[in-house]
Structure 1
Amino acid sequence: MSETADVQKTVTPSVAFTDIAEYRPHEEQIVRLETTYAKLVVDCSTSEGLANAKEVRIDIRDVRYALDKTTKTALIPYQQKVKDAQARVNQVKEFGEALKDRVLAIEAPVDEAIKAEEKRVADAKAERERVEAERVEAIRAKITRFSSVAAAYANRSAADVASILQSVKESVILPEEYSEFEAEGTIARDNAIEQLETLHRSAVEREEAAAKLLAQQKELDELREKQRIADAEAEELRKQRAEEDRKRLKQQQDELDQQRRDIETQQRQQREQQEEQQRQQRERDAQYQRDQEELARLRAQASAPTSVTIAATPLVAEKVEVAPISTDAVTAESDDVTTTAPSVDDIVEVVALGFDVDLDTARAWLRAIRF
């Protein structure tokens, strides 16, 4: 029963029939309980309902407790009878066992003799079977060796196969050794010889092919080694040539750099010489311009009246020292004469006018002082 839920239990009254007088009052009480509480609804959600439920449980338990006591009381006479019967049963068993022991005492020697003989016969049979099994197993092992020898030597060398083949050929199948398995042993031996011969031929061919392959591999390795050496030498030669090319290119570059520096030096010197020549040319041009102006002036004086010429004589005298200087400059730079230099006739005329001599005398003077 639960305190938070209503439990409805329906008890169906039943009638029990028994010939045990001690239980009849209890049957009446049980019928009363079944009749009274058949449609009882137990509500424990309230304190009053819980108290009523406890009273009902006490009423039911009283009947159950009384039933337990009656059961114990009613069993007492029957339990004593059971004990007496069990004692008799034990007595019968003990007497029967005693009689059995007397019979076994008579039977035991005969039974032991029979069992000993049976054991001896069984042991002898087992020994014969063991010996026979060992004999058959030994023969089977020999036949199995013949059957499995080819598989065992499948990957062995030709020499090993030849050795075992000779051993198998030398083996003899004796009737007293193989008995009823003589034919089977002979067949297994012949098959083993045939398989080993085939295996030997295959091994010889395989080893010849392997030797040939090994020789080819060795030759290939030698070729590879030669190729490696050649490649190494070629690489070394390439490095040497590359180094030589690098040195040669460096030398050429150094020579080009030196040539470039020499050319730059020459160009600089040429520029300096050219500038010097231009400077000298400018000086010559300036001197030529002055000489032309002086020549024009002298010509003008020469064509002027005598009085003017006499008056201009001091000026000409002052120019006498200038004219030789111009002549020396022209003589010193004779190799550098350009189209802008004064002509020889102009120079002779200037000298003649400056010193008041004729042209032939001035020309003779100039020849005398020419380098």
Structure 2
Amino acid sequence: MSANAKQAAVSTDLDTSETSDTKNSIAPAVAATDIAEYRPHEEQIVRLETSYAKLVVDCSTSEGLANAKEVRVDIRDVRYALANTTKTALVPYQQKVKEAQARVNQVKEFGEALKDRVLAIEAPVDEAIKAEEKRIADAKAERERIEAERVEAIRAKITRFSSVAAAYASRSAADVANVLLNVKESVILPEEYAEFEAEGTIARDNAIEQLETLHRSAVEREEAAAKLAAQQKELDELRQKQRIADENAEKERQRIAAEDRQRIADQQAELNRQREQLQRDQDAQRLKDEQNQRDQEELARLRAQAAAPAPIIAAVAPLIEEKVEVAPINTPAIAAELDDVTTTAPPVEDIVEVVALGFDVSVDTARAWLRAIRF
């Protein structure tokens, strides 16, 4: 297909929004070049730019796809021809470049050879100079090292004076006294301290002053600690004595409590015994009182009968006399029996106290109770 036919085939695919004036206004720009081999290709490129610069490719249809492939073939033909022309046009220049590079290498090699000849003359002189410079630098470095070590040694001595007080801040008074003596015996020699003699003297004097203060503080601290230890020992002894006294007091309290419990138990037992005895005595007395009451009633009845008029029937008198003889009222016997009970009974105050303890009442209340039951 010719170029005119291709252009007619794809003209329908151009953007319809463009006016005919816009299309006609595109004027191909021909680039000027002094390379004759590229001039035909420039004309082809101008043709491609004019024909396809604003081409809209529609590959959605088979016809559009075929047209697009034809356009691509047309463009590639120009590109392939341009590549072949470039290879052909570069051949003479590449040969010249190779020749120039060979000359460059030749110049470099010749220059290096001349340089080696010059270096052969320069090297001994340069080595001698560098050796001397190295010797001078080494000697200077050695002197600086020796000087640094000397200064460092002097600084270390001065630092020991400055830090000795802090190092012995928590030591004993004896240790501080020993190091204080050593510092006082130290001598600041001019040949040893040189330009640091004044600084060393000041550091030594300050160390002596600080150590003396530290020694006084250590002595006071140890005296206070010894006093505190003595007080603590005394306190421990007092606590031990108090503990022993408390233990003895506790034992005594327990003994007294046991005795009190035993005494109370004995008193309670005695009280129970006395209460039982009192109950028995009261029961016996009650029986006696009942018997006495019956006797009194019988006596009153007999007296009433005796005071009554004599009965008509004489036979009644023997019966009365017989009955009186059968149940006589022996008042002296009753009194004697009461006297026996009174003489064998415990003292009245003991009975009152037993009753008061047994019933947990006052002595006056117990005495009133006993009075209430007396005959």
* 1:151-190 aligned within 5 A: 151-155=162-166, 156=168, 157-160=176-179, 162-164=181-183, 166-169=185-188, 171-173=189-191, 186-190=194-198
Contact 1:16 1:27 in 2 (8 A): yes
Distance 1:102 1:166, change over 3 A: same
Residue identity over aligned pairs, in percent, reads 14
Contact 2:161 2:203 in 1 (8 A): yes
* 1:1-371 aligned within 5 A: 15-19=29-33, 20-23=38-41, 24-34=43-53, 37=55, 40=56, 47-48=60-61, 51=62, 54-55=65-66, 57-145=68-156, 147-155=158-166, 156=168, 157-160=176-179, 162-164=181-183, 166-169=185-188, 171-173=189-191, 186-300=194-308, 304=310, 310-319=314-323, 321-324=325-328, 326=330, 329-330=333-334, 332-335=336-339
Distance 1:60 1:227, change over 3 A: farther
Name structure 2 gaps, 5 residues minimum.
1-14, 169-175, 342-375
Distance 1:52 1:328, change over 3 A: farther
Counterpart of 2:372 in structure 1 is none
TM-score under structure 2 length normalisation: 0.70
Quote the offset at 1:314 in angstroms. Answer: 1.8
Contact 1:15 1:31 in 2 (8 A): no
SS in 1 for 2:330: helix
Contact 2:158 2:200 in 1 (8 A): yes
Quote the offset at 1:102 in angstroms. Answer: 4.2
Summarize deviations over 1:83-142 as a string: whole Å, max 9, x none: 311221232123323432442353232111222122122212212322332233234324
Name structure 1 gaps, 5 residues minimum.
1-6, 175-184, 338-371
Compare 21-30 and 142-151 and name the one that shifted more: 142-151
Quote the offset at 1:280 in angstroms. Answer: 1.1
SS in 1 for 2:221: helix
Please provide the CA RMSD for this pair.
3.5
Distance 1:91 1:251 in 2: 138
Distance 1:228 1:164, change over 3 A: closer
Larger radius of gyration: 1
Distance 2:126 2:244 in 1: 102
TM-score under structure 1 length normalisation: 0.71
Distance 1:69 1:158, change over 3 A: farther
Distance 1:34 1:97, change over 3 A: closer
Contact 2:162 2:207 in 1 (8 A): no
Distance 1:29 1:193, change over 3 A: same
- Count how many residue pairs are aligned between Structure 1 and Structure 2: 309
Distance 2:327 2:142 in 1: 161
Q: What letter corresponds to residue 312 of structure 1 in structure 2?
A: V
Distance 1:198 1:9, change over 3 A: farther
Q: What letter corresponds to residue 54 of structure 1 in structure 2?
A: L
Compare 56-65 and 203-212 and name the one that shifted more: 56-65
Distance 1:314 1:197 in 2: 149
Summarize deviations over 1:339-369 as a string: whole Å, max 9, x none: xxxxxxxxxxxxxxxxxxxxxxxxxxxxxxx
Summarize deviations over 1:5-37 as a string: whole Å, max 9, x none: xx99999966241432231223212221125x2
SS in 2 for 1:75: helix
Distance 1:105 1:194, change over 3 A: closer
Distance 2:302 2:331 in 1: 14
Compare 280-289 and 128-137 and name the one that shifted more: 128-137
Quote the offset at 1:293 in angstroms. Answer: 1.2
Distance 1:33 1:311 in 2: 192
Quote the offset at 1:296 in angstroms. Answer: 2.4
Distance 1:280 1:335 in 2: 13
Distance 1:62 1:300, change over 3 A: same
SS in 1 for 2:31: coil
Quote the offset at 1:234 in angstroms. Answer: 0.7
Distance 1:194 1:162, change over 3 A: farther
Q: What letter corresponds to residue 50 of structure 2 in structure 1?
A: V
Distance 1:71 1:259, change over 3 A: same
SS in 2 for 1:135: helix
Distance 1:115 1:268, change over 3 A: same
Contact 1:143 1:188 in 2 (8 A): yes
Summarize deviations over 1:170-211 as a string: whole Å, max 9, x none: x3327xxxxxxxxxx545222222222222222122123212
